[in-house]
């Protein structure tokens, strides 16, 4: 049985994935599936950098802004939803282009990872819920260091899920490796976008933060933080502004904290993607924008025709 071909555009935040994916979609008759764990939520497009109508240029984008902020969304949910979108896109003769910075989402989809339920006694879960984020994360670092490296300390749901696996006699890392034995239904072409000069990427991040603030990030954060859901408090851009909103730090301190957190997030993304030797890296500071697009289109057409 032939595998379904998908193109995966990956890279750190602010590297230019959105712009490249739109140009690629126009060239190969594709549609975009977002692989971002925060862009699935409604009412926070500035913090999550969801593509605007102008940026989309008429290209269909899937799996963005469809959940309320208090709704949990796991990698298993993403793999299921993305599989349905891929089936729909290919049934119409178009090319699925998976775009995102959440490496676990992209790789789990491309590798056909399956997710079985692991039974954990309710009292164990209840006990984990009594611990604060720092205590949970430190425990995970001890029990499953690789999983800890891949999960943000503030992503409480994923940290607890990984700890549940540990307490059930396995680890998230081992489960992922065992899941990879399942035959993937996809053949994936990975294209990565980054910068050789890390400072150039950081400069882009700083400028993006400034633009997000100009576009109303503070108002968005205030609106979201007033709601009962806690998911928005995990979004980079909201949680860094919370101390300022509460009068605990100055505006300038909050902005600097936000820029620093975003740079650190980009570093974690790069650490994840560097492990994947299947990625065809394109460096935006070593070629013109047209050269970048042409190379991505060339790689994709060769892959699709092969």
Q: Which has the minimum average pLDDT: 7-21, 37-51, 101-115, 290-304?
A: 101-115
Burial profile 51-64: b = 16 or more Cβ within 10 angstroms, e = fewer: beeeebeebebbbb
Confidence of residue 169 (pLDDT cuts 50, 70, 90): low
pLDDT at 117 over 70: no
pLDDT at 166 over 80: no
The 10s digit of each residue's pLDDT in 118-165 is 444 465 667 788 788 988 888 888 788 888 888 888 888 888 888 877
Residues 37 and 82 in one domain: yes
Beta bridge partners of 186: 4
Quote the pTM value. Answer: 0.81
Determine the structural domain holding residue 32 and report its residue range: 4-114+182-305
Residues 164 and 227 in one domain: no
Q: What is the CATH number of the domain that holds 149?
A: 1.10.20.140
- SS3 for the chain is CCCEEEEEEECCCCCCHHHHHHHHHHHHCEEEEECCCCCCECCCHHHHCCCCHHHHCCCCEECCCCECCCCCCCHHHHHHHHHHHHHHHHHCCCEEEEEECCHHHHHHHHCCCCCCCCCCCHHHHHHHHCCCHHHHHHHHHHHCHHHHHHCCCCCHHHHHHHHHHHHCCCCHHHHHHHHCCCCCCEEEEEEEEECCCHHHHHHHHHHHHHHHHHCCHHHHHHHHHCCCCCHHHHCCCCCCCHHHHCCCCCHHHHHHHHHHHHHHHHHHHHHHHHCCCCEEEEECCCCCHHHHHHHHHHHHHHHHHC
Confidence of residue 173 (pLDDT cuts 50, 70, 90): low
* Number of domains, the chain: 2
Residues 190 and 271 in one domain: yes
Residues 26 and 81 in one domain: yes
178, 197, 217: which is the final residue of a domain? 178
Residues 222 and 127 in one domain: no
Residues 9 and 88 in one domain: yes
Residues 25 and 56 in one domain: yes
Residues 173 and 192 in one domain: no
178, 202, 225: which is the final residue of a domain? 178
pLDDT at 171 over 80: no
Residues 208 and 269 in one domain: yes
Residues 11 and 53 in one domain: yes
Confidence of residue 17 (pLDDT cuts 50, 70, 90): very high
The 10s digit of each residue's pLDDT in 72-115 is 888 888 999 999 999 999 999 999 999 998 998 999 899 887 66
**Residue 137 burial (10 A CB sphere; 0-12, 13-18, 19+):** buried
Residues 24 and 162 in one domain: no
| pLDDT score at 59 | 99
The 10s digit of each residue's pLDDT in 229-246 is 555 567 788 889 999 999
Residues 131 and 167 in one domain: yes
135, 153, 178: which is the final residue of a domain? 178
């Amino acid at each position: 049985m032939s595998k379904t071909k998908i193109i995966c555009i990956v890279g750190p935040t602010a590297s230019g994935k959105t712009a490249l994916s739109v140009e690629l979609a126009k060239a190969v008759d594709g549609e975009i599936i977002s692989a971002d764990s925060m862009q699935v939520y409604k009412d926070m497009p500035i913090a999550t950098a969801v593509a605007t109508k102008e940026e989309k240029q008429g290209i269909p984008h899937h799996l963005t802004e469809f959940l309320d902020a208090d709704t949990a969304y796991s990698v298993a949910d993403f793999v299921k939803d993305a599989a349905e979108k891929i089936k729909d896109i290919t049934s119409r003769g178009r090319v699925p282009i998976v775009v995102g910075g959440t490496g676990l989402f992209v790789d789990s989809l491309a590798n056909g990872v399956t997710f079985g339920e692991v039974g954990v006694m309710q009292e164990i879960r209840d006990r984990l819920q009594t611990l604060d984020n720092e205590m949970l994360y430190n425990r995970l670092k001890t029990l499953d260091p690789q999983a800890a490296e891949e999960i943000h300390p503030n992503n409480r749901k994923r940290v607890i899920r990984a700890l549940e696996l540990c307490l059930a006699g396995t680890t998230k890392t081992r489960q992922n490796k065992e899941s990879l034995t399942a035959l993937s239904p996809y053949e994936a072409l990975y294209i990565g976008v980054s910068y050789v000069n890390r400072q150039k990427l950081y400069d882009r991040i700083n400028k993006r933060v400034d633009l997000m603030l100009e576009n109303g990030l503070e108002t968005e954060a205030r609106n979201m933080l007033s709601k009962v859901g806690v998911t928005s408090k995990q979004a980079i851009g909201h949680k860094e502004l919370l101390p300022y909103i509460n009068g605990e730090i100055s505006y300038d301190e909050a902005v600097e904290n936000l820029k620093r957190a975003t740079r650190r997030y980009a570093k974690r993304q790069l650490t994840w993607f560097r492990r994947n030797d299947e990625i065809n890296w394109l460096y935006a500071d070593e070629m013109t924008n047209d050269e970048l697009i042409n190379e991505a289109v060339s790689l994709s057409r060769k892959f699709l025709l092969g």
